[in-house]
A and B are shown apart, each in its own frame.
Chain A
Amino acid sequence: MELSIANLKQLLANSSSLGNQVLDFDDNVSITEQGVDSLDMMDFFLNLEDTFNVTIPDTDIEKVRTFNALFAYLQNKVNEV
């Protein structure tokens, strides 16, 4: 899957009980503050790791709370591989 904010949102839509509502989320606002709970976030991060073949340690979770931050973080990670 190509790394893009649209695709990140689609992955979250697959994980979250909010479904396609997350496609309209603000890219600069915390994903959890927009209504996604902690368990759906765990599933989302697992799917991100599997999809992009990266590891996102617990210590980095606080750095990737918005879609914009997450996209930038993953771009760096993917380039490292």
Chain B
Amino acid sequence: MIGITEIGSYIPPKRLSNIERKEQFDTDEDFIYNKIGVAQVAVKSADEETSDLAVKAFLNLETKITINRNEIEAIILVTQNPDSNIPHTSALIHKALDFPESCACFDISLGCSGFVYGLSVIKSFMESNGMKKGLLFTSDPYSKIIDPTDKNTALLFGDAASVTYLTDEPVYKADHFTFGTIGKESSSLTCYQNVLSMNGRGIFNFAARYIPIDLKNIVAKSSLNIEDIDKFIFHQGSKYIIDTLIKRTGIDSNKVIFDIKDYGNTVSSSIPIILEKILHQGNKHIFISGFGVGLSWASSILINNKL
């Protein structure tokens, strides 16, 4: 059984303040704090690449747990902003961290649902190939594609990376997954000619309509009751979407984590960055749900293997 053993992350130190940009975007502090929920966004330095962020996340992981790099058998990177189209960026991570030649590497092209999809893919890939140690990276720096004058995106997205260490002796196993795609609404979040474009209403309607239903479905599939879930980690899209999901699902708001005020919506890294903080707090069941580009979603219930 393959599952999550530890998580590392990297959030670049540079910040862009939304408060300082409030006049530029004709908004106010109440809207920034209480609706967007992001006071500042993290921005990578100009010379940092997608793979560099991932490598720094791995170095952070190594401060928490001893890893023999020669034992890593699989690396998957979730990104839609790679260093370049060819080669795949996971191969560049492999090079930078000097992983063994026997290690499998590939990228997955997904946005905010990518961590949960990636978790299912790497778990299945490792189990079906008899592997014991693997790494799931997320690194999708949207600062590469954001129009700094676009209010819809410039105040929201931040740069970051994460790496999840998966082994056959996990802290959390993921037994249940749900997935979905509304391809006919894919134009709500696109990138053409290297510029991100988001129809906020389209994304909001998608998340507000589909994620509450998905939560019900996965709880039923797991044979758990919703009260059995100790923590809910939704993709950290904005404070407003999290508040809307709380309202539409009726779940206990004290169990829902929102924590991106100081760095922004980090796309596929948003869930693992939160999960990293609570990984060793002794929660029995953690619901995770990513949703966005595609429009796609993926959810899972993580079960503590040590309790």
B33: Cβ under 8 A from any A Cβ: no
Interface size range on A against B = 10 to 19
A49 to B201, CA, bound (A): 13
Q: By the criterion CB–CB under 8 Å, are A37 and B205 in contact?
A: no
A43: Cβ under 8 A from any B Cβ: yes
- Contact partner of A39 among B35, B205, B209, CB < 8 A? B35
Q: By the criterion CB–CB under 8 Å, are A58 and B201 in contact?
A: yes
- Contact partner of A45 among B31, B35, B201, B240, CB < 8 A? B201
A46: Cβ under 8 A from any B Cβ: yes
A43 to B241, CA, bound (A): 10
A58 to B35, CA, bound (A): 21
Q: By the criterion CB–CB under 8 Å, are A42 and B205 in contact?
A: yes
A2 to B220, CA, bound (A): 34
Contact mask B4-46 → A, CB, 8 Å, 1/0? 0000000000000000000000000001001100000000000
B109: Cβ under 8 A from any A Cβ: no
A45 to B31, CA, bound (A): 19
Contact mask B158-178 → A, CB, 8 Å, 1/0? 000000000000000000000
Q: By the criterion CB–CB under 8 Å, are B35 and A37 in contact?
A: yes
Contact mask B262-288 → A, CB, 8 Å, 1/0? 000000000000000000000000000
A28 to B69, CA, bound (A): 68
B244: Cβ under 8 A from any A Cβ: yes
Q: By the criterion CB–CB under 8 Å, are B35 and A42 in contact?
A: no
A46 to B34, CA, bound (A): 20
Neighbouring A residues of B201 by C-beta, 8 Å: 42, 45, 58
The A interface, classified by DSSP as helix, strand, loop or mixed, is: helix
Neighbouring B residues of A42 by C-beta, 8 Å: 200-201, 204-205
Q: By the criterion CB–CB under 8 Å, are A43 and B35 in contact?
A: no
Neighbouring A residues of B209 by C-beta, 8 Å: 46
Neighbouring A residues of B204 by C-beta, 8 Å: 39, 42-43, 46
Segment 197-240 of B: residues with Cβ below 8 Å from A? 199-202, 204-205, 208-209, 240
**With A42-B204, A46-B205 in contact, do A37 and B31 touch (Cβ < 8 Å)?**
yes
Closest-by-CB residue of A relative to B201 is: A42
- Contact partner of B244 among A37, A43, A49, A58, CB < 8 A? A43
A42 to B199, CA, bound (A): 11
A/B interface sample: 23 pairs, CB < 8 A: A17-B34, A37-B31, A37-B35, A38-B200, A39-B35, A39-B204, A39-B240, A42-B200, A42-B201, A42-B204, A42-B205, A43-B204, A43-B208, A43-B244, A45-B201, A46-B204, A46-B205, A46-B208, A46-B209, A49-B205, A58-B199, A58-B201, A58-B202
List the 4 closest A-B pairs by CB distance, nearest first. Answer: A39-B240, A42-B204, A42-B201, A39-B35
